[in-house]
Structure 1
Amino acid sequence: MKAFVFPGQGSQFVGMGKDLYETSPLAKELFDKADAILGFKITEIMFAGTDEQLKETKVTQPAVFLHSVISALCMGEAFEPSMVAGHSLGEFSALVASGALSFEDGLRLVAARANAMQKACEANPGTMAAIIGLSDEHVEEICKEVSVGGKVVIPANYNCPGQLVISGDVEAVDAACEKLKEAGAKRALPLKVGGAFHSPLMQPAQEELQEAIEKTGFNTPKCPVYQNVDAKPHTDPTEIKQNLIAQLTSSVRWTASVQHMIADGADDFTECGPGKALQGMIGRIDRNVALHGIA
């Protein structure tokens, strides 16, 4: 069975989507529509901007979303997923590609998400760090130990066995990194991010995004969507909405999502969008599945 997966923030690069724009009438139509919806020429930044411009949250998230969704839609009849999933931001791409959201509504929600997260980052400064070489349980235990005195750090992204990202207050993340290195982590690497994504520090953004999500119409997708918050398949629009709202302050359970997809029959995974990060993670979760990329 074929599964299609969609990457999150961090996979962007200058030039992304340019080939699609120049070779596909459908891609050109959708990119031009995106410029109009967003109110600025995101295509100019994607195709020929600078790395710094592309790293701005209000640009990065819509850019990755657009590249991912348009890559999938331009496949035409070849895009026949039995199931889909997306990593963090990629969940919005998965929902549009599966028909649960229209292209226009998906883009508007991603833009709203990016703006809400930027404001939350400014109001509640935080950070994230990648932890390599420890079990999930060990990282969870140390995060609990460090989360005292009103400071919090939690596992934010369960990417694959032996690779997690933690998120929270700067002091708590720094303290957790020291303890995790003492506990035997191969690496505890601070990430260059604007805030503590997928942690309680994103609560203001969640509240703002919830209003936008509740006003948006969702459809029944053409295949199950394995969502980040519980790693389970969903087709009910009401459930999908609630899980999407919870996503901003919850952990991304990517390892479990992929494991559940494989248990439900997926043996062929295609990553739609920039980069190969998800292919790398999936390969470390299960070496026996076929992996492809569409960009």
Structure 2
Amino acid sequence: MFALTGNAPEAADLFAHAALLLGGRDPRDFVRDEPEEALHRNRAGQILCTLQPLAAACALADVIPRGVIIAGYSVGEVAAWGVGGVFDATATLDLVARRAEAMDAATRAGDGLIFVRGPSRDEVGRLCERHGAAIAIVNPGDAFVIGGGREALSGIAADARAMHGARIVALPVEVASHTKRLAAASAGFRETLRLVPAVFPPRTGARILSGIDAAPVVSLESGLDKLAAQISQTVQWADCLQACVEAGATGFLELGPGHALSRMVAEIEPGLPARSLEDFRSLQGVRAWAARHLGA
């Protein structure tokens, strides 16, 4: 993380603000020096995963065209509101810190997430009903993130293996994100959102999608309702990607860490160009690609 954005002068203030939220640790040092366990703690992880797209958007502001479609995966949906200009970027970092704190306060010991690929949506739904868990995220290609307590997730993993699931992985997450177990966190975060200055519609002309239904945000209040509800409702990520395609997307650029989301585009529309920030060696390379594929 931060290989391309860490030295961008446009993002310097963001890195300084994130350091305050991380107890004085520079985020660039944090991701390099801290043990993996520390990186995956809920609050730190959410701050880091939000800082990356915000820093990228600042550094690439000159080539991100007006009217882009912005969708965010999990905490990335809060980042999307910052990238789209509805929230100030530093305020967005403060928001995700509060979001994580609300989620931690509502979490029960042993809660977490697993990834399952292979069984159909109906089959996964029946497994969740049998074991008392819930689908947290629907990804393309019969790939699901499931949230619940430790015993429930272990039971689902065992049943999915018996069904010859293609991939079953316990995720390094200690909250049952996007399930009803975090209903109290949704309520608390909605109150936090009431106090945050917002510009809507965004000056950038961006179209921001809500994760729980893949619909464009058409009013500030209903959009904030959905942004808070997303903490405790299923994220329909496959539908978000499909909505981008149906709206005429010419290409996808993943701003957050990693490249998992850009690879998912092939499951929806193999012919569309899709790249992640980490595919490039320089910001200039990103700018050149964006100019060709994003209409910049």
1:236 lines up with 2:219 in the alignment = yes
Q: Does 1:86 align with 2:66?
A: no
The verdict on how the C-alpha distance between 1:98 and 1:200 changes in structure 2, with shifts beyond 3 A counting, is same
SS of the equivalent of 2:199 reads coil
SS at match of 1:234: coil
RMSD: 2.0
Please say if 1:142 is aligned against 2:122.
no
Q: Which residue of 53, 62, 78 maps to 1:77?
A: 62
Offset at residue 18 of structure 1 (A): 5.1
Question: Secondary structure at 1:128's aligned position in 2?
Answer: strand
Alpha-carbon distance in structure 2 between the residues aligned to 1:40 and 1:294: 26
Preserved CA contact (<8 Å) 2:41 2:173: no
> Which whole-Å CA distance do the structure 1 matches of 2:52 and 2:64 have between them?
15
For 1:108-147, list aligned pairs within 5 A.
108-121=94-107, 123-144=108-129, 146-147=130-131
Distance in 1 (CA, whole Å) between partners of 2:119 and 2:125 is: 10
CA gap 1:178/1:235 in 2 versus in 1, 3 angstroms: same
Separation in 2 of the partners of 1:198 and 1:20?
A: 29
Per the TM alignment, residue 111 of structure 1 is displaced from its structure 2 partner at its CA by 0.4
Larger relative CO (CA 8 A, sep 6+): 1 or 2? 1
**Equivalent residues of 1:131, 1:164 under 8 A apart:** yes
Contact 1:18–1:47, Cα closer than 8 Å, also in 2: no
Matched, 1:208 2:165: no
Mean CA deviation greater in 72-81 or 171-180: 171-180
- Tell me by how many angstroms 1:124 deviates: 5.0
Question: In structure 2, what residue type is equivalent to 1:126?
Answer: D
* 8 Å contact kept, 1:129–1:189: yes
Which residue among 253, 259, 263 is the counterpart of 1:276? 259
Aligned position for 2:289: none
State TM-score, norm by structure 2. 0.85
- How big is the shift at 1:45? 1.1
* 201-210 vs 110-119, which moves further: 201-210
Partner of 1:185: 165
- Segments of 4+ moved more than 6 angstroms: none
Judged with a 3 Å threshold, the aligned counterparts in structure 2 of structure 1 residues 244 and 175 are, in CA distance, closer, same or farther, namely same
Identity of aligned residues (%): 25
**Counterpart of 1:96?**
82
1:246 pairs with 2:243: no
Task: Check conservation: 1:38, 1:111, Cα contact below 8 A.
Answer: no
1:105 corresponds in structure 2 to 91
Paired position in structure 1 for 2:242: 259
TM-score normalised by the chain length of structure 1: 0.85
- AA aligned to 1:201 is R
Whether contact under 8 Å (2:213, 2:236) holds in the other structure is yes
Q: Deviations over 1:31-76 (max 9, x none)?
A: 1233346653242313543333322222111111111111122102
Cα–Cα, structure 1 residues 237 and 118, in superposed 2: closer, same or farther, change >3 Å?
Answer: same
* Contact 1:67–1:274 (CA under 8 A) maintained in structure 2: yes
Residue 16 of structure 2 is aligned to residue 32 of structure 1? yes
Deviation readout 1:148-207 (Å, 9 max, x if unpaired): xxxx21111111112111111222222223333333422333323212111111123222
Query: What secondary structure, in the 3-state scheme, does the structure 2 residue paired with 1:209 have?
Result: helix
Q: Does the CA contact (< 8 Å) of 1:20 and 1:28 recur in 2?
A: no
CA distance in 2, matches of 1:133, 1:19: 35
Structure 1 residue 293 displacement after superposition: 1.9
CA distance, structure 1, for counterparts of residue 94 and residue 22 of structure 2: 8
Shift of 1:256: 0.6
Q: Could you tell me which runs of 5 or more consecutive residues in structure 1 were left unpaired when the two chains were aligned.
A: 1-15
Q: Does 2:137 match 1:154? A: no
Shift of 1:244: 0.6
CA–CA separation in structure 1 for the residues paired with 2:150 and 2:3:
37
For residues 20 and 165 of structure 1, what CA distance do their matches in structure 2 show? Answer: 29
TM-aligned CA deviation for residue 250 of structure 1: 0.6
Distance 2:22 2:36 in 1: 20
Aligned-residue offset at 1:242: 0.5
Indicate the larger mover: 212-221 or 252-261: 212-221
Q: Which has the higher strand share?
A: 1
Q: How many residues align?
A: 273
